[in-house]
Amino acid sequence: MRIYKFGGASVKDADGVRNVLNVIQTMGTEDLGLVVSAMGKTTNALEAVIETYQKNHNNYLDLIDELHRQHLQIIDALGSKSPGIEEEWLVRFRESDIKKGIKAIIESLKGELLRNKSRNYSFLYDQVVSNGELLSTRIVAAFLNACEVPVQWKDARQLISTDNKYRDAAVQWEESEQRIQEACSDQLFITQGFIGSDENGFTTTLGREGSDYTAAILAYCLNASGVTIWKDVPGVLNGDPRVFQNTVLLETIPYSEAIELAFYGASVIHPKTLQPLQGKEIPLYVKSFLNPKDSGTVITSAPEIKPSTPCFIVRKNLVFLRIASRDFSFIGEHNISDIFHELSTHKMQVGLIQNSAISFSLCVEDKYHKIKDLLRDLESRYKVSHVEGVSLYTVRHYDDASMEMVEAGKEKLLKQRTQETMQLIVKD
């Protein structure tokens, strides 16, 4: 069994969906399971629906209607002539009940919001945002079926069992394994990334960008021979090509190195994805959906990264904090424990830490907009200075040239080096 994951960028429009067909026709459909994310920026649009709904603005309904229109447009485009797509397939697709299916999802979403009484934001988030994946997989499944690639649509909520930590649910492995093995062992199937359900049958999500993780969960439970994540880049590069120039394709990455890269913020792989795969030594391929035959990147139990080259990661829009005792006393274990308690209470993600005798410096991501509360609580006991809008650069396997390149022309706030990793905080 092989698992293929197609992300939002790969199904953002009709050309993307047609390309999914092309990729699986090129690579073969035997022993294959597909995991598909929401189309393009649908998840962000659904987040906007919740925000508007929570402000008691009725125009959340307009936002849902807009999403409905966008999906219908893709369906219409898929039903139109295109090279390589036979007339007979188009007729079958146009005559399918896909538009009805999409309408039913939209109506059920509206109904859910109208009836909703819950004040639990994370619960509501999962019930709403999960619709993006339901819409996309319905459309891709209908198209593949029309094009003589028989595929079974599966509801990931029947496959992936989780706890009820909405927005960041943890997988219940035994239950999921049993369900997945029962449901997915035979025919080509397609399911949603990112979503699961709790023991009461409510929808849960695995964290933003969680579709890669879904692919890994399925691969683990089905003892797959490999997972391929299809991307708009040739594979994992030694830096985000939107930020760094002259990037190099990494051909082989050891699991441990990929985990390090994900830990430091390389957004190309979701951090949770690697752990289940490493456990069973299932290789993770990252390949270009435009050139499916190209070899791309493989993440495996190889001993070393190939080619050997510095890798660059940047995390933007962080907050730099310098915390010192009020009376010039040492920052000791009890202070550090206290500071971390505050960071955890305010859900801050810590990017880098450095301590000296009387101060403690760190860089945090304020995902949940709680920086003001954190500062207030820390300032009651410490002297705190903070700088918002900073970037954290990490260079793995750095050398002089790569350090110079990252540092050039930037206002440096802090630099830290270990044998393998150099980190730099700069003001944006």
Residue ranges in contact with Mg ion by CB under 5 A: 7, 209
Task: Pick out residues in 37-56 that bind ligand ASP (CB under 6 A).
Answer: 37-38, 43
By CB under 6 A, tell whether 288 contacts ligand ADP: no
DSSP 40-94: TTHHHHHHHHHHHHHTT-TTHHHHHHHHHHHHHHHHHHHTS--TT--HHHHHHHH
- Which one of the spans 19-27, 85-93, 216-224, 239-247 is the region binding ligand ADP (CB under 6 A)? 239-247
- Alpha carbon 61 to its chain centroid, in Å, reads 27
**Least CB distance to ligand ASP at residue 212 (A):** 6
Determine contact, residues 268/258, Cβ cutoff 8 Å: no
**Least CB distance to ligand ASP at residue 43 (A):** 3
Binding test (CB under 6 A) with ligand ADP, winner from 2, 10, 17, 101:
10
Paired strand residues for 318: 390
**What is the CB neighbour count within 10 angstroms for residue 404?**
10
By CB under 6 A, tell whether 196 contacts ligand ASP: no
The binder of 210, among ligand ASP, ligand ADP, Mg ion, none, by C-beta within 5 to 8 A per type, is ligand ASP
177: which residues sit within 8 A by CB, 6+ positions away?
Answer: 220, 221
DSSP 263-323: HHT-TTS-GGGHHHHHHTT--EEEEESSSTTS--EEEES-SS-BS---EEEEEEEEEEEEE
- Alpha carbon 271 to its chain centroid, in Å, reads 9
- Which one of the spans 52-60, 135-143, 238-246, 330-338 is the region binding ligand ADP (CB under 6 A)? 238-246
Tokens standing for residue 323: 């915390």
Q: Hey, CA dihedral for 46, 50, 52, 56, is it positive or negative?
A: positive
Binding test (CB under 6 A) with ligand ADP, winner from 8, 132, 210, 283:
8
- Which one of the spans 64-72, 160-168, 235-243, 381-389 is the region binding ligand ADP (CB under 6 A)? 235-243
- Which one of the spans 25-33, 87-95, 262-270, 324-332 is the region binding ligand ADP (CB under 6 A)? 262-270
83: which residues sit within 8 A by CB, 6+ positions away?
Answer: none
Residue type, 250: L
Number of residues that bind ligand ADP (CB under 6 A): 18
Task: Pick out residues in 95-154 that bind ligand ASP (CB under 6 A).
Answer: 132
**Least CB distance to ligand ASP at residue 194 (A):** 4
- Which one of the spans 138-146, 233-241, 325-333, 399-407 is the region binding ligand ADP (CB under 6 A)? 233-241
Q: Which is nearer to ligand ADP, 101 or 276 (CB)?
A: 276
Residue among 163, 152, 197 nearest 179 (CA): 197
Return residues touching ligand ADP (CB under 6 A): 7-10, 37, 209, 231-233, 236-237, 239-242, 266-268
